Amino acid sequence: MGDSPVKRAFRFRFYPDDAQATELSKTFGCTRKVYNLALAARNDAWARRERMNYGQTSALLTAWKQSDELFYLTEVSCVPLQQALRHLQSAFTAFWGRRSGYPRFKAKRRHRASAEYTRSAFRYRNGELTLAKMSSPLPIVWSRRLPEGTEPTTVTVSRDSAGRWFASLLCEDIPAPMPATTAAVGIDAGLTALVALSTGEKLSNPRHERGDRERLARAQRALSRKEKGSSNRAKARIRVARIHARIADRRKDHLHKLTTRLVRENQTLVIEDLAVRNMLKNNKLARVISDAAWRELRRMLEYKAAWYGRELVVVDRWFPSSKLCSACGVIATAMPLNVRTWTCEGCGVVHDRDGNAAANLLAAGSAVSACRADGRPPRGPSRQAVRSEAGIPPARVGTRPPKGDGEAKQPRLGVSNAAPPSAMPADTLRTGS
């Protein structure tokens, strides 16, 4: 990306006092209420075969504030409420573009509580952040400094299921350049080894979930014994959530270090377009596949490669990287999951499954990078990668739209280029590549 500024999110933990926590909790509730009301209104419009856009829902918000039942919406800043409507509009745009399913309602206890403030709704001065409707700045733990000369354009405040408060500051910054290099590497994601590189190096899979599995099981059993609705059950739920948060934090930290190293050391990175959603249908491997977080690995590589001017090449998922001999090009007839090394019938070379797959990915990616046979430019970061890095919660999707009376056949709710598990090649559902 060169010297062009990019949007970067800097996430900090903070510890609000009682008044701030009450104000933020009220804002979270009002934001969720507005989102659900707007979604219900758009569902009704759908049933009447009408379209409703952001402008119309914004007019509804004004009417809701004037009603007696929803007058409490005026007690919080209007900016997070408007941002909730914009997020809903983005969710519908993704739905109509067949990039996601139909937006879903947000439940109080099943969704991350968050509120987004734009520049007009907060004050950042002398290292202190003060939100609208608050008289004192948030007590943020500044674990690092913001880049010199940058000012936050958006602030997203959130509270996770473990009760931790975070402030994500979105800034425009020019990333520090990385050392120039001409190296290229093929990256084969797996389970035994998290990634195998075409250089022959294998990076082990830490399996973060397995390390805390017993502790998590004990906490979940203790939670199941608590009476529903009791304060002890609420405390037990937080204990479970904190264990999950600990696992997720360790996983994310490891992936950040790994992807930063790969981007720093290589100009061209080649990965495979894995159908993770289909692979999770394998009940025997679903837990360890989820723990490996291949999709998050790819997301980080996407935006970091775009930031630092590296090239990320994604090879088609049907490319037989594991079964193709990297020496002579002969494709093996069959390769069960338990086969980690194999001998080529054409040239007799003994291959390590993961290393051979990484070498084949590098060869295929180098060819695409050299001639761009598909005619498309190098991939930049995906929309969801940018939103996640900015601290914006993803749109909740997956339910079907409501049907109106006498309505004809509904349009398709989304498309998926992934083949069903029965049609996937044998080497796609592999444990180490």
Catalytic, 405? Answer no
Pairing of strands 311-315, 341-343: unpaired
Spatial neighbors of 15 by CB under 8 A, at least 6 apart, are: 139, 141, 165
Catalytic, 352? Answer no
| Residue carrying the six token digits 């409707």 | 133
Pull the structure tokens for residue 420: 């069903």
pLDDT 10s digits, 160-193: 999 999 999 999 988 888 989 999 999 999 998 9
The pLDDT, as a whole number, for residue 403 is 56
3-state DSSP call for residue 169? Answer: strand
Confidence category of residue 1, pLDDT binned at 50, 70, 90: low
Q: Which of 350, 357, 287, 353 is nearest to 319 (CA)?
A: 357
Cα distance between residue 287 and residue 271, in whole Å: 22
Q: Which of 160, 82, 159, 75 is nearest to 118 (CA)?
A: 82
3-state DSSP call for residue 346? Answer: coil
The pLDDT, as a whole number, for residue 346 is 85
Cα distance between residue 75 and residue 101, in whole Å: 33
Q: CB atoms < 10 A from the CB of 246, how many?
A: 16
Spatial neighbors of 306 by CB under 8 A, at least 6 apart, are: 1, 6, 312, 380, 381
User: Which whole number is the average pLDDT over 208-228?
Assistant: 95
Q: Is 49 left (phi over 0), alpha (psi -120 to 50) or beta?
A: left
Cα distance between residue 47 and residue 62, in whole Å: 23
Spatial neighbors of 332 by CB under 8 A, at least 6 apart, are: 323, 324, 325, 342, 344, 345
Confidence category of residue 277, pLDDT binned at 50, 70, 90: confident
User: Which whole number is the average pLDDT over 276-293?
Assistant: 91
**pLDDT of residue 337 exceeding 70:** yes
Q: Which residues pair with 341 in a beta bridge?
A: 352
CA 260-163-152 angle, to 5 degrees, is 50
**Residue 426 DSSP symbol:** T
**pLDDT of residue 239 exceeding 70:** yes
Cα distance between residue 155 and residue 79, in whole Å: 11
Pull the structure tokens for residue 394: 């993803």
The pLDDT, as a whole number, for residue 112 is 83
Q: Which of 5, 4, 3, 6 is nearest to 303 (CA)?
A: 6
Catalytic: which of 23, 116, 354, 389?
Answer: 354
* Mean pLDDT taken over the chain: 86
The pLDDT, as a whole number, for residue 377 is 47
CA gyration radius, the chain: 24
**pLDDT of residue 255 exceeding 80:** yes
Is 205 within 8 Å of 190 (Cβ atoms)? Answer: yes
Give whole-number Cα distances, 368 to 112, 359, 362, 373, 381, in Å. Answer: 40, 14, 10, 6, 18
Catalytic: which of 188, 209, 291, 427?
Answer: 188
Cα distance between residue 42 and residue 36, in whole Å: 10
The pLDDT, as a whole number, for residue 177 is 86
Catalytic: which of 23, 116, 209, 272?
Answer: 272
User: Where is pLDDT greater, at 20 or 394?
Assistant: 20
3-state DSSP call for residue 178? Answer: coil
User: Which whole number is the average pLDDT over 222-237?
Assistant: 95
pLDDT 10s digits, 174-183: 888 898 999 9
Pull the structure tokens for residue 415: 């498309």
* Residues above pLDDT 70, as percent of the chain: 85
The pLDDT, as a whole number, for residue 256 is 96
pLDDT 10s digits, 82-92: 999 999 999 99
Catalytic, 272? Answer yes
Longest Cα separation, the chain: 81
DSSP characters over 93-137: HHHHTTSS-EE-PPPTTTS-EEEEEEGGGEEEETTEEEETT-SS-
pLDDT 10s digits, 241-250: 999 999 999 9
